[in-house]
């Protein structure tokens, strides 16, 4: 009888143990979806943040997805002047990995205010804007990760060089650290890959500065974009990408990037931007991402990972500039793996 009592007590103890364990697993899932302690619960994660600028106060739009106290990723879109819409592919991956992340349209882009004043379109002012967004969202070095793509990669590098004490990690996606090197690669490597007659025609339009000619744009969209921007037929491009392109703030793009698709020309603000020699100052864990068919040299992006103090490299063998779409599994699995190791 004593033995039977001991067995009964043992079985009871096991049942209590496992019943206590199961709710914990549910709690982990439910806590990721719990917005009860956030100031954006009423708006479904949307938060409009006032930004102080030399020309007054303007609002920028952000949207929070998920809840994770140790990993909070702020997405910096490209352009300049595009929108955060093309990051929507993250919705298929980040929630399953319990990663908290934020959509964010920079000033002049998407759902944010557009002051339409060129005096605000400087790298320094955008860096200050990101810092104000960080403060408003309550992000800090225990959780804050920047993921910057294309122009967003420039912005991420600049922010890290000034404010890396606030960062837990940095992701530089599909962006090199030197615009002159980018221009050289476009002209000497990518351009000659086009059919000679197509390249000759494109160059003729660019020599005349006729960048808005429908014939020029048609050639770029038919022969260059499907090879180096997003390796799909343009008719098959995902809706988030099409929306981001459709909603681009072209005057802002023109001011900072310039009109050419083969690098940065004219008096574009970013024409001489180069931070290669400063990368060794970045001490936080950093992931650089490059695509084999990118508009940027993948070898240069790999080298960047060796120039920062704690770098690693993610190579997307099928990817172009939008590797999050044309090499999606590689891209997001690599990003998630990096984030989980922080």
Catalytic residue among 128, 294, 297, 327: 294
Residue corresponding to tokens 């557009």: 114
**DSSP assigned state of 188:** I
Tell me if residue 43 is catalytic.
no
Structure tokens at 270: 């970013």
CA–CA distance, 228 with 279 (Å, rounded to integer): 26
- φ, ψ for residue 118, nearest 5 deg: -60, -20
- Residue 180 CA from chain centroid, whole number: 22
Nearest residue to 270 (alpha-carbon basis) of 296, 282, 247, 252: 252
Nearest residue to 102 (alpha-carbon basis) of 159, 38, 45, 60: 45
CB atoms within 10 A of CB 213: 12
Catalytic residue among 150, 173, 260, 323: 150
282 near 172, Cβ under 8 Å?
Answer: no
- For the CA atoms of 45, 132, 120, 153, what is the dihedral angle to 10 degrees? -80
Rounded to 10°, the helix 151-163/123-137 angle is 70
Tell me if residue 150 is catalytic.
yes
132 near 51, Cβ under 8 Å?
Answer: yes
- φ, ψ for residue 221, nearest 5 deg: -70, -30
CB atoms within 10 A of CB 15: 10
- For the CA atoms of 172, 175, 177, 180, what is the dihedral angle to 10 degrees? -170
Tell me if residue 178 is catalytic.
no
Catalytic residue among 77, 149, 166, 321: 321
117 near 45, Cβ under 8 Å?
Answer: no
**Catalytic residue list:** 150, 294, 321
């Amino acid at each position: 009888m004593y033995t039977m009592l001991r067995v009964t007590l043992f079985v009871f103890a096991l049942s209590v143990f496992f019943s206590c364990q199961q709710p914990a697993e549910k709690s982990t899932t439910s806590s990721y979806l719990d917005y009860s302690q956030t100031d954006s619960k009423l708006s479904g994660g949307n938060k409009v943040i006032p930004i102080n600028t030399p020309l007054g106060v303007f609002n920028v739009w952000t949207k929070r997805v998920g809840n994770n106290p140790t990993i909070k990723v702020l997405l910096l879109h490209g352009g300049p002047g595009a929108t955060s819409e093309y990051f929507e592919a993250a919705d298929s991956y980040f929630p399953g990995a319990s990663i908290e992340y934020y959509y964010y349209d920079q000033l002049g882009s998407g759902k944010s205010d557009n002051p339409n004043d060129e005096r605000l379109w400087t790298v320094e002012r955008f860096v200050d804007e990101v810092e104000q967004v960080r403060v408003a969202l309550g992000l800090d070095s225990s959780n804050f990760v920047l993921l910057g793509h294309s122009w967003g990669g420039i912005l991420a590098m600049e922010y890290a060089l000034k404010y890396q004490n606030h960062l837990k990690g940095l992701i530089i996606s599909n962006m090199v650290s030197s615009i002159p090197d980018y221009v050289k690669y476009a002209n000497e490597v990518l351009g000659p890959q086009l059919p000679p007659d197509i390249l000759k025609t494109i160059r003729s339009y660019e020599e005349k500065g006729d960048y808005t000619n429908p014939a020029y744009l048609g050639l770029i969209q038919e022969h260059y974009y499907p090879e180096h921007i997003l390796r799909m037929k343009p008719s098959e491009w995902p809706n988030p990408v099409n929306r981001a392109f459709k909603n681009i703030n072209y005057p802002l793009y023109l001011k900072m990037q310039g009109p050419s698709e083969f690098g940065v020309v004219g008096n574009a603000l970013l024409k001489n931007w180069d931070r290669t020699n400063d990368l060794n100052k970045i001490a936080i864990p950093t992931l650089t991402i490059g695509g084999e068919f990118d508009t940027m040299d993948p070898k240069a992006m790999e080298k960047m990972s060796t120039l920062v103090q704690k770098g690693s490299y993610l190579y997307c063998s099928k990817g172009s500039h939008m590797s999050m779409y044309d090499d999606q599994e590689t891209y997001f699995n690599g990003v998630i793996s990096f984030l989980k190791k922080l």
